[in-house]
Amino acid sequence: MKIIRKKDLTTSQWSGGTTTQLYIYPKQATYQKLNFDFRLSSARVEIEESTFTKLKGISRIIMVLEGETFLTHKQRDTVYLKKFNIDHFEGDWDTSSKGKVVDFNLMLNQNYEGNLSHLILTKNRSQPVQQTNKNGSLIIYLYQGLVYVIAGEKEITMGAGDTLVLNSTKDKGNININAPEASVLIISEISKKKDK
């Protein structure tokens, strides 16, 4: 179990806004070299129209957290996304967006697969979290609010912007999330693809 606090994150500028890297695996990997197995980030798109950087060999899953956007995959389709909507696409597609948003990104190399979901908890609500693949990673990002995460015998307090990474089966056995205030969480499940 690993907690990454918001204060320890790095935010970088790009032509259309900012990106904050939330987690990268393995830890010595870098986005620039595209040598990661998977990477989680959140971007703030501050211009009306932007073009996605091509990322060969990377699959992408994007979820809108604020605002709305049209994602256009050239010669494929255009997808309208509003809050908590998700789109899956390949990093080497010609992709552009229209609309100012805050989004959550999961990038995976060709050996990994994953999915995203969101969880909204009202004040004083408690919710168990189950992972569908016990051999993978479960990563919880607290977008808004304050929660106490109980995993096995450990309790972690998370503030907005914190990320909790659960890798071992022991950590993921019984997970319960208690929200002393209204909270929004983004849950990423990531696992290695099975050999075909």
Question: Which helix (H) or strand (E) is 79 found in, with range?
Answer: strand 77-81
Q: Which domain holds residue 80?
A: 9-110
Give the model's pLDDT for residue 168. 63
CATH of the domain at 74: 2.60.120.10
Q: State whether residue 26 is helix, strand or coil.
A: coil
Look at residues 81, 110, 139 and tell me which one is the last residue of a structural domain: 110
pLDDT band at 74 (very low <50, low <70, confident <90, very high): very high
Domain match, 14 and 87 both: yes
**Residue 196 pLDDT grade (very low, low, confident, very high; cuts 50, 70, 90):** very low
- Which DSSP string do the residues of 138-168 spell out, in sequence order? EEEEEEESEEEEEETTEEEEEETT-EEEE-S
Q: How far is CA 164 from CA 35, 82, 83, 177, in A?
A: 22, 25, 22, 12
pLDDT tens digit sequence for 166-191: 986 556 567 999 999 999 999 999 99
What is the amino acid identity at position 182? A
117 and 78 in a single domain? The answer is no
- The confidence score (pLDDT) of residue 132 equals 72
Assess if residue 157 is contained within a domain: yes
Residues 121 and 75 in one domain: no
Q: Clarify whether residues 87 and 128 are in a common domain.
A: no
Lowest mean pLDDT among 54-68, 75-89, 166-180: 166-180
CA 174 from chain centre, in angstroms, equals: 21
Res 82 pLDDT > 70: yes
Proportion of the chain above pLDDT 90, given as a percent? 85
Residue 1 forms part of a structural domain: no
Mark whether 172 and 81 lie in a shared domain: no
20 and 79 co-located in one domain: yes
pLDDT in tens, 96-121: 999 999 999 999 999 999 999 999 99
79, β-bridge pairs: 71
Residue 73 resides in a domain: yes
Q: Is the pLDDT of residue 85 over 80?
A: yes
Mean of pLDDT values over 129-139: 83
Instruction: Determine the residue type at 174.
Output: N
Domain boundary among 46, 77, 110: 110
Q: Considering 87, 110, 133, which residue would you say is the last residue of a domain?
A: 110
Beta bridge pairs of residue 127: 177
Taking the whole predicted model, whether its pTM rises above 0.85 is answered as yes
Residue 165 pLDDT:
95
